[in-house]
């Protein structure tokens, strides 16, 4: 069964009404393809379902999942807020037209340059990650006699069952101030009294690709209870809570589904209840979806090269990209599904591995997938690659980064050009020695 946003026209995969063969001819392979309509629908699903009568909701797209001028331009038109984590992400966001007031700055080790940039550009909110960072920011603001709205990132100690590398809420996590740390109330009292920092409330993010709704409920309960306690200690009323991102997606056919719309509706209700139970005056509740905003809208296509039968293991179908355009299988053991996109009507399927072309044994994009016997020149499409693949791409083995194209209603829109060989050396200097 094809994904909902894919169509089969005479055996050829079409996305957004455009044939992938046509896209390959125009832009080459590997190629990242984004279904523009699906991104708009997803952005609207967040806004329509995560809302309440008693609090204002704030949907910030976590731009680390994928950012370029085109995508951020589109999302700013959808009236989203934006979560950034570096000078580069803030810069792209502003260039793409985001109102700086709607930009948040995160990061566990923000540099002076980043903080000064945020202050100068009137970035809306800084999420303070530690007591030490609070002192650093206070000093920088003090030098300029400026005041800034901030949230404090709390580690709520919720143990999710996701991959270790994308857990953020363990006691040894590098993010946030641990809720169980006995110094936390003293720190928060000092922050609440700051002349330069206006602590609006608290932030937490429990991890990424979290499929169990219960972990988010646990997080909400912990954070609201904590807010109540901190109000008592500081005698200050907190008005904002941000519960981060991490909402799971169905990455491959074997994964369970994550009913995003139902989850968002239920989550908003749970939050309303907690606000009432704890008697809080919370005005704004934010969430920060990254993966769940863009992953399902993205696909990667490759051209097939050789097929190799090794002495052991499934036969390997090689493609013209690999871990340089999608590091997730090698880094997190992420599992994807693939199609031979130009022969969708084939009846006989066999099991294959999909191998990249990089000089690394770990460069296996898919450990097992069913495909018709691949031929050189076929188009292999990998589904659901919209988040953290293009975003984490590299030039390893000096492969140029692929183009990024958006498609909708039979038209394609180039968002990022494929890198040229010249691009690969544009920052290199020539050896001038003997």
Contact 272, 232 (CB under 8 A): no
332 counts as binding ligand LLP under rule CB under 6 A: yes
Q: State the Cα–Cα distance between residues 16 and 138, nearest whole angstrom.
A: 49
Secondary structure (3-state) at 351: strand
- Which secondary-structure segment (H or E) carries 366? strand 364-371
The verdict on whether 359 is a catalytic residue reads yes
Residue 59 CB, nearest approach to ligand LLP (Å):
11
84 counts as binding ligand LLP under rule CB under 6 A: no
The span of 37-45, 205-213, 221-229, 255-263 binding ligand LLP (CB under 6 A) equals 205-213
Helix-strand-coil percent breakdown of the chain, rounded to 5? Answer: 30, 25, 45
Contact 250, 208 (CB under 8 A): no
The span of 49-57, 179-187, 204-212, 296-304 binding ligand LLP (CB under 6 A) equals 204-212
Site string for ligand LLP, 38-67 (x = CB under 6 A): ------------------------x--x--
Contact 72, 92 (CB under 8 A): yes
Contact 379, 302 (CB under 8 A): yes
Q: Which is nearer to ligand LLP, 104 or 353 (CB)?
A: 104
Residues 366-395 interacting with ligand LLP (rule: CB under 6 A): 388
Q: State the Cα–Cα distance between residues 20 and 16, nearest whole angstrom.
A: 10
For 22, 62, 84, 132, 270, the CA distances from 265, given in Å and listed in that order, are 40, 20, 26, 37, 9
246 counts as binding ligand LLP under rule CB under 6 A: yes
133 counts as binding ligand LLP under rule CB under 6 A: no
Instruction: Identify the residue among 16, 30, 201, 245 touching ligand LLP (CB under 6 A).
Output: 245
291 counts as binding ligand LLP under rule CB under 6 A: yes
289 counts as binding ligand LLP under rule CB under 6 A: yes
| Among candidate residues 143, 232, 144, 240, the one with its CA nearest the CA of residue 188 | 232
Which of these is catalytic: 359, 421, 426, 432?
359
Instruction: Identify the residue among 194, 292, 324, 390 touching ligand LLP (CB under 6 A).
Output: 292
What positions carry a catalytic annotation? 359
> Where do contacts with ligand LLP occur on this chain (CB under 6 A)?
62, 65, 83, 106, 166, 205, 208-209, 244-247, 288-292, 328, 332, 388
């Amino acid at each position: 069964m094809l994904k909902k946003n894919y169509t089969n026209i005479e055996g050829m995969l079409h996305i957004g009404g455009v044939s992938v063969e046509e896209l390959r001819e125009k832009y080459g392979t590997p190629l990242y393809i984004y279904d523009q309509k699906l991104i708009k629908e997803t952005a609207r699903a967040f806004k329509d379902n995560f809302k309440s009568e008693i609090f204002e909701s704030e949907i910030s797209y976590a731009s680390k999942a994928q950012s370029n001028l085109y995508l951020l331009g589109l999302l700013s038109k959808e009236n989203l807020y934006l979560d950034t984590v570096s000078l580069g992400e803030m810069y792209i966001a502003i260039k793409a037209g985001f109102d700086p007031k709607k930009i948040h700055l995160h990061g566990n080790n923000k540099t002076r340059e980043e903080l000064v940039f945020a202050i100068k550009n009137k970035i809306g909110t800084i999420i303070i990650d530690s007591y030490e960072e609070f002192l650093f920011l206070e000093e920088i603001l003090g030098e300029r006699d400026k005041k800034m709205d901030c949230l404090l990132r709390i580690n709520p100690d919720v143990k999710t069952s996701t991959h270790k590398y994308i857990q953020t809420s363990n006691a040894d996590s590098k993010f946030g101030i641990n809720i169980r740390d006995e110094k936390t109330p003293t720190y928060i009292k000092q922050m609440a009294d700051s002349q330069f920092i206006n602590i609006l409330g608290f932030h937490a993010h429990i991890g990424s690709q979290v499929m169990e709704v219960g972990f988010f409920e646990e997080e909400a309960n912990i954070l609201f209870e904590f807010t109540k306690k901190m109000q008592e200690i500081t005698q200050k009323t907190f008005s904002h809570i941000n519960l981060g991102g991490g909402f799971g997606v169905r990455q491959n056919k074997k994964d369970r589904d994550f009913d995003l719309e139902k989850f968002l509706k239920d989550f908003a209700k749970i939050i309303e209840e907690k606000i009432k139970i704890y008697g809080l005056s919370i005005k704004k509740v934010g969430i920060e979806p990254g993966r769940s905003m863009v992953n399902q809208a993205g696909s990667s296509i490759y051209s097939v090269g050789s097929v190799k039968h090794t002495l052991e293991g499934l036969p390997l179908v090689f493609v013209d990209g690999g871990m340089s355009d999608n590091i997730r299988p090698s880094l997190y053991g992420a599992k994807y599904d693939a199609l031979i996109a130009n022969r969708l009507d084939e009846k006989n399927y066999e099991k294959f591995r999909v191998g990249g072309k990089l000089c690394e044994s770990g460069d296996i994009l898919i450990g097992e997938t069913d495909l018709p016997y691949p031929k050189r020149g076929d188009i292999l499409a990998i589904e659901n690659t919209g988040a953290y693949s293009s975003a984490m791409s590299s030039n390893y083995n000096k492969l140029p980064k692929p183009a990024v194209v958006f498609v909708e209603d039979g038209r394609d829109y180039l968002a990022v050009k494929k890198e040229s060989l010249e691009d690969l050396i544009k920052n290199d200097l020539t050896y001038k020695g003997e």
